[in-house]
Structure 1
Amino acid sequence: MHGDSTDASHYRLVCSVCGRRQADDGLTLGCAGQHEPGLWQTDYQATEFVPDASQSGVFRYRDWLPVRRTLEGTGRTVVHRSERLAAELGLDELWIAFNGYWPERGGDLTTGTFKELEAAAVIGRIPADAGTLVVASAGNTAAAFAELCSRYEVPVAIVVPASAVPRLRTRGPRSALVRLIAVEGADYADAIALSDALARLPGFVHEGGTRNVGRRDGLATVLLAAVETMGQLPEYYLQAIGSGAGAIAVHEAALRLRCSRPGPLPQLILAQNDAYAPVYRAWETGERLWESGSEEGQRRATELAFAPELTNRRPPYDLRGGLCEALTESAGDVLVADRGAALAAMASFQELEGIDIEPAAGVALAALRAAVAAGRIDTRASVLLNITGGGRARFARDHVLTTRQPDLTVPRAAVHDPASLAAIAAVAAVPGPLPAMA
């Protein structure tokens, strides 16, 4: 791995349930205490928000990242104040946190998604010779980890539904250290199940999703970039969610920032597909589809979703430090948007702001429009809209891209078949000695 070596002494892990504090080994995902589930959180020595002017990418915020090394050449969120879209929505102060490829504004996330932020922080967190990282994805996370693990020579096995493969396009060859496993007829939950099983085998290490503090604090840099540009916390924060890791991360960052910037927390206004909205249903009615809904019914619903990356069937909602807690503490809300409204929002952003955006971002913008129309948002307040992905069509016009083909494609039945796991692991494992990390 290429990068500047640091250490992990600038922060400690803290259990959100029992308060246990410990140094970070770069791999731990949960507290060993016998108590209800909860997320690790990070406690940094730095109490003031001071970006590192010597860094241009996500490691500009390394004082508030749980990393033991920095990586050269990463991208980050770019933030600007909207004029035309703000006027069309009737908002006095709309800020766009753009995560994607937009050369004219400095947008340099070449996979067109904010998942590059979390991938960079996860890679910066893991120790040398940790093993083969295992990542589950519905598409965007796969693209980000494939790109960054190729660039920084990190062994990784990425598990995706086969339907996500066409979205994994790149301008360069994939490293031999990056293994892609596709599951036919699967959804995101199946990919997670297979990755969980694979990560329990020797030589593999679980990336961990929302439980990984690297992932969450990497995503939290969206808010840090916004505050650096705006000079203050926004009053409202809008984002489309699947698991909600990004929303939890932004809320955690707001709590840190409030130590030196007193004031109310940003209200989280989160959005999901109307076809499948488990977090919306839980927030509005109290029904937990992941407990009461049938597997097959949920699977059919996810197939109807406009933005498949928003279809996490087991979101980190009820655990301590999770999504319900963040929504409650921020006086937040969850909305839904249908396919037509999201498509219209995507077209509107292209016309008024000048760049293409991804379906998930279209869902968020459609929800923002609905929230303004319903009077849910004070039109005089500062609003931060997280465009979680954009510029992908522009990137395809500017570069010659090829689709990343899987190293192995398996049927969905193999996900829960122990006899198939050894064959899958043989392909997923990176042969030979691991590369030395700086």
Structure 2
Amino acid sequence: GDGGGGGGGKILVVPSAGNTSRAFAEVAALTGMPVVAVVPKSCLHRMWTTVEPETETKKHDNIFLISVDGDYSDAIAVGKDLVERGGRVERGGRVERGGRGGGGLIAEGGARNVARRDGMGVVELEAAFFMKVLPDYYFQAVGSGTGAIAAWEAFSRLLGDGRFGGKMPKIVISQNLPFAPMFYAWQDGRRAEIIAEKDMKNAEEAIKKMYADVLSTRNPPYSVRGGVYEMLKDTNGEIYGVTNDECREAEKLFESEEGVDLDPAASVAVASLIKAVEEGFVGKEERVLLNITGGGYKRLREECKMWKIKERLEIKSPSQLPLPLEEVEGVILGELLRR
């Protein structure tokens, strides 16, 4: 390949706790486009694809998987450092040293990526066309809150369209206790930035105890303009904190009723809906859109072969940052461009 991933020959860097990176890796395996995936070491088991490798020796060589001995926030820090210190990719595959942010790697962008938010908003568009009307409530489990912000933006457009009613749905998000910084800030009535000492006490230990560790974002867009706080205020929404036991009970109930096993994050959302109904926040006759953000793994294992993605580089501790520029150029860009 020519190293191009759109963006003038830049290669996409996607840090995640496994699920988002796996989705990008699946697309990369299908299309041949290069991608750099950065995940915590503990999440490597989530990095697989249903696309068979081209040959036994060429196993998804366009997917450069980096593991970080840390949590999701550490993976984000590594991804940011890679992009800021990468080399510029020129025609013919020649690599030159680039300045800050001017290299051959480009960040996926997270909550700031408008295209990502619009892609997530397709769920709400599909639901509105199916339901013929906007829901009264929208439920989703969140780490950063990007998906819920995307729903808010999609609902705003649907309201402007006028064919799906004139009432903004109440957006209800949920976090997995004990690591739930936005839940604690919201309960405290705060719009200000997340306070680490108050909202993320013993963060590392709290994250290890989570049932849905993919929701462990330490720097969510909570207080920024157009962020989670404004979304909740604008929609008269709510945040629920959900325990691991509540997640497991919700997961069992959902699978028994729907026949589909849940991703842990989706079980957080289901548990929050159960709590909201039990508390009377949601009436039993009201329309609810529940976003099941992942699941069906049992069926997938029965119907598809899952190919493990090879780890290409290990960052043993966040203290190794910043990464040497030569390592970024020589190891990552060099290998992807030699395909």
TM range (shorter): 0.7 to 0.9
Q: Provide closer, same or farther for how the CA distance between residues 429 and 222 of structure 1 changes in structure 2, counting only shifts above 3 A.
A: same
Task: Identify the match of residue 216 of structure 1 among 92, 112, 117.
Answer: 117
SS in 1 for 2:288: strand
Indicate yes or no: 2:108 matched with 1:207.
yes
Q: Which residue of 1 aligns with 2:332?
A: 428
User: AA paired with 2:331?
Assistant: V
User: AA paired with 1:233?
Assistant: L
Name the one with the larger helix percent: 2
Q: Which residue of 2 aligns with 1:264?
A: 167
Distance, in Å, in 2 between the alignment partners of 1:294 and 1:283 is: 10
Distance, in Å, in 2 between the alignment partners of 1:379 and 1:365 is: 15
How far apart are 1:401 and its partner, in Å?
1.9
How far apart are 1:400 and its partner, in Å?
2.3
Indicate yes or no: 2:184 matched with 1:277.
no
Task: Identify the match of residue 242 of structure 1 among 136, 143, 165.
Answer: 143
Report if the CA contact (8 A) 1:272-1:280 is conserved: yes
How far apart are 1:413 and its partner, in Å?
3.5
User: AA paired with 2:248?
Assistant: L
Task: Identify the match of residue 385 of structure 1 among 269, 282, 290.
Answer: 290
Task: Identify the match of residue 156 of structure 1 among 20, 35, 56.
Answer: 35
Q: Which residue of 1 aligns with 2:212?
A: 307
Distance, in Å, in 2 between the alignment partners of 1:214 and 1:325 is: 21
Distance, in Å, in 2 between the alignment partners of 1:402 and 1:168 is: 9
How far apart are 1:283 and its partner, in Å?
1.0
Distance, in Å, in 1 between the alignment partners of 2:326 and 2:208 is: 29
Q: Provide closer, same or farther for how the CA distance between residues 376 and 170 of structure 1 changes in structure 2, counting only shifts above 3 A.
A: same
Report if the CA contact (8 A) 2:66-2:313 is conserved: yes
Indicate yes or no: 2:227 matched with 1:326.
no
Deviations 1:386-425 (A, max 9, x none): 0000111210122222322311112114552444x53245
Q: Which residue of 1 aligns with 2:62?
A: 177
TM-score (normalised: structure 1): 0.67
Distance, in Å, in 2 between the alignment partners of 1:359 and 1:339 is: 9
Distance, in Å, in 2 between the alignment partners of 1:414 and 1:371 is: 42
Q: Provide closer, same or farther for how the CA distance between residues 338 and 350 of structure 1 changes in structure 2, counting only shifts above 3 A.
A: same
Indicate yes or no: 2:80 matched with 1:196.
yes
Counterparts of 1:29-428 in structure 2, within 5 Å, are 127=6, 129-171=8-50, 172-173=52-53, 175-184=60-69, 186-200=70-84, 201=86, 202-261=103-162, 262-285=165-188, 286=190, 288-293=193-198, 297-419=202-324, 422-428=326-332
User: AA paired with 2:76?
Assistant: I
Distance, in Å, in 1 between the alignment partners of 2:37 and 2:320 is: 14
Distance, in Å, in 2 between the alignment partners of 1:290 and 1:179 is: 35
Deviations 1:261-298 (A, max 9, x none): 24111101111101110110111112754544598821
Distance, in Å, in 1 between the alignment partners of 2:111 and 2:334 is: 25
Identity %: 36
Q: Which runs of 5+ in 2 are unaligned?
A: 54-58, 87-102
How far apart are 1:336 and its partner, in Å?
1.3
Deviations 1:37-59 (A, max 9, x none): xxxxxxxxxxxxxxxxxxxxxxx
TM-score (normalised: structure 2): 0.86
User: AA paired with 2:290?
Assistant: L
SS in 2 for 1:429: helix
Distance, in Å, in 2 between the alignment partners of 1:295 and 1:312 is: 10
User: AA paired with 1:214?
Assistant: A
Which range is displaced more, 197-206 or 230-239?
197-206
Report if the CA contact (8 A) 1:180-1:428 is conserved: no
Q: Provide closer, same or farther for how the CA distance between residues 415 and 154 of structure 1 changes in structure 2, counting only shifts above 3 A.
A: farther
Report if the CA contact (8 A) 1:165-1:403 is conserved: no
Which range is displaced more, 292-301 or 410-419?
292-301
Report if the CA contact (8 A) 1:194-1:415 is conserved: no
How far apart are 1:139 and its partner, in Å?
0.9
